[in-house]
Structure 1
């Protein structure tokens, strides 16, 4: 059996490869793909097959996908370009006769106003039209996305957001990676659409409490209006587009787009998901080491 993992030089893809190895998949049965041979080298040193690819260069994909029983298509990171990149990968997978595709999508991608969802929705449609067996992993938010809040909160004593009382059912990248590894290495997932999240959703007030304990000083949550939030972000140096994206995402959170907590991840991986406080504390400890 050959399991191919794209994005293996990124945070999630690398963790999926590591999880597959921990679950006993032979290194020689794993093919890790990424843009940088240098960053793939540590995986090659473990005996994992490696190959460099670029979703924008279809000729790099055919041989890399050849012989794949299962292909993890980790969604691209270049917002605005992902649909074509994913289309290239799907076409190459069909041409290579890949056994099945597992795709990392967005929560409720077929029925959501989430600002990040449209490219995922389009990709899911392409996958449905491909004729290949497909499994969709609709990952909720990554807890690591809030690591950047730690230093700011320590300096100011605040977490500022326009998310109101919205809640986020985040999980750690390692949780999502373990779930993907299970789906890739075990049978019975063809045709499934998994809504993946942390076991519990948290509020920004709860996030502030957790961060307070981690940084060792009182931290409060200051809820602001979208307009005030935009002004704060642009005043801090963000360009209008980035500030608008952040505020739109907080609006999605305020409206409940990331609040749906399920036990699907913990059911797949056989353990509870990682609380956000533990993820943030581990990241801070690692940065200090």
Structure 2
């Protein structure tokens, strides 16, 4: 049996879609905080179980009979390490044969502020004795294309990435990679540095948006602090604004660049170029 934590999330849903192309839905367990919000998954034939990171009792019962587990990192920055440890402990107690974890590109070498909890989780996995595989995911195309329409409206993309290159891929590409690892053998002990085949700067992203929209969009590079302030001014919570500004500043130093092509090799096809994701964003 294959189980997915955070199955109701954006990545979780895509992983399930990818899995259902490979295995019978009766062999897939959707682990969610609120099963009432995953009724459609149950209707597809999946076993939907409650699994709350903050309630270890639910984790222990949810993992009964699980062979392969995908631990999708929690979205609650600052609480991730504790939450992930609870899943790891429960997986070990349940006899899970392989745990795959969605970590961060370049792991302990990353200058991203959000990398710390991922590194701590990797260490917890190493100490657990569980067979595990690290899916060190790079940036999602959607992290930037979510702001494409406002960029066209205002004629600008703001950031603090300088001329740093970003090797992003579509969220669905990373989901496919997870599905491959969960349904094939030989992955235990592996570390996959996953990123897009192509890279771009935010200047190039702005040019692509201009080309596709027919409207002039320019990239304005700000200091990390000014970019954070700009994000707060448009309504983002301060914590999220800090994380995004930090990530952009780290991108300027190469934190989001990788040219190993491990993702495309793992999924057996080229990753989704940013131009394709821009087109999708503009059409929605």
TM-score interval, normalised by the smaller of the two chains: over 0.9
CA distance in 1, matches of 2:57, 2:7: 19
Q: By how many angstroms is 1:238 displaced? A: 4.5
Q: Which stretch shifts more, 232-241 or 6-15?
A: 232-241
Q: Secondary structure at the match of 1:202?
A: coil
Partner of 1:272: 270
Q: Note if 1:11 corresponds to 2:6.
A: no
Q: Note if 1:77 corresponds to 2:75.
A: yes
Partner of 1:191: 189
Aligned pairs (5 A) from 1:26-175: 26-175=24-173
Partner of 1:246: 244
Q: Secondary structure at the match of 2:109?
A: coil
Partner of 2:231: 233
CA distance in 2, matches of 1:50, 1:242: 30
Residues 1:89 and 1:268: Cα distance change in structure 2 (over 3 Å): same
CA distance in 1, matches of 2:186, 2:111: 31
Contact 1:138 1:196 in 2 (8 A): yes
CA distance in 2, matches of 1:231, 1:54: 34
Q: By how many angstroms is 1:261 displaced? A: 2.7
Q: By how many angstroms is 1:35 displaced? A: 1.2
Q: Secondary structure at the match of 1:273?
A: coil
Q: Which stretch shifts more, 124-133 or 216-225?
A: 216-225
CA distance in 2, matches of 1:235, 1:39: 32
CA distance in 1, matches of 2:149, 2:210: 11
Aligned residues: 284
Q: Which stretch shifts more, 232-241 or 103-112?
A: 232-241
Q: Secondary structure at the match of 2:219?
A: strand
Name the TM-score, length of structure 2 as normaliser.
0.95
Structure 1: unaligned runs, 5 residues or longer? none
Residues 1:279 and 1:53: Cα distance change in structure 2 (over 3 Å): same
Q: By how many angstroms is 1:226 displaced? A: 3.0
Q: Secondary structure at the match of 2:30?
A: strand
Name the TM-score, length of structure 1 as normaliser.
0.94
Q: Which stretch shifts more, 240-249 or 206-215?
A: 240-249
RMSD: 1.5
Q: Secondary structure at the match of 1:229?
A: helix
Q: Over residues 96-117 of structure 1, what are the superposed CA-to-partner deviations in whole Å (9 max), with x where a residue is unaligned? A: 1111100000011122221110
Q: Over residues 138-182 of structure 1, what are the superposed CA-to-partner deviations in whole Å (9 max), with x where a residue is unaligned? A: 000011111332122111111121110011111111000000000
Moved over 6 A (4+): none
Contact 1:198 1:262 in 2 (8 A): no
